[in-house]
């Protein structure tokens, strides 16, 4: 579900509904001297997810599985955004990418600033 859409500035969405999302993603676009910088955010929510199944109810196993997923999100998003930057970059421009991946301990997922 799209939670925010500001053309040229921000796009955000919640996975599995806004009330108790399993994750919330946001992409902020910022002008930089030679193009557009993208900052992404992903927060795992407390909505029902695969982590419930893989953890077997063990909070430590769930936390470990969530951290592995967040690490993979960070790696894959950096690659994807860098590739996108290369594809759309004009000669002499620079693609910038940064982001955060966090775990949310309670619903609802935070509003992105």
- CA dist., res. 17 & res. 45, Å (int): 11
Q: Among candidates 7, 10, 52, 44, which has minimal Cα distance to 27?
A: 10
| Average pLDDT of the residues in 59-86 | 81
What is the structure's pLDDT at 111?
A: 39
- CA dist., res. 105 & res. 88, Å (int): 37
- CA dist., res. 111 & res. 91, Å (int): 36
Please confirm whether the linkage preceding 30 is cis (ω < 30° from 0).
no
Grade residue 7 by pLDDT with cuts at 50, 70 and 90.
very high
Percent of the chain residues topping a pLDDT of 70? 77
- CA dist., res. 5 & res. 16, Å (int): 18
pTM above 0.85, yes or no: no
| Average pLDDT of the residues in 51-72 | 83
- CA dist., res. 93 & res. 107, Å (int): 40
Grade residue 90 by pLDDT with cuts at 50, 70 and 90.
low
What is the structure's pLDDT at 109?
A: 34
Please check the confidence at residue 87 and state whether its pLDDT lies above 90.
no
Grade residue 2 by pLDDT with cuts at 50, 70 and 90.
very high
What is the structure's pLDDT at 99?
A: 57
- CA dist., res. 21 & res. 13, Å (int): 9
| Average pLDDT of the residues in 7-23 | 88
H/E element holding 79?
Answer: helix 59-88
Both structure tokens of 95: 């693609």
């Amino acid at each position: 579900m799209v939670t925010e859409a500001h053309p040229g500035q921000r796009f955000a969405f919640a996975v599995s509904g806004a009330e108790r999302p399993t994750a919330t993603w946001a992409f902020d676009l910022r002008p930089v001297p030679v193009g557009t910088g993208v900052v992404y955010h992903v927060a795992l929510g407390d909505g029902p997810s695969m982590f419930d199944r893989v953890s077997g109810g063990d909070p430590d196993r769930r936390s470990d599985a969530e951290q592995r997923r967040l690490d993979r999100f960070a790696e894959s998003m950096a690659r994807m955004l860098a590739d996108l930057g290369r594809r759309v970059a004009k000669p002499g421009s620079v693609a910038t990418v940064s982001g955060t991946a966090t775990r949310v301990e309670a619903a609802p997922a935070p509003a992105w600033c």
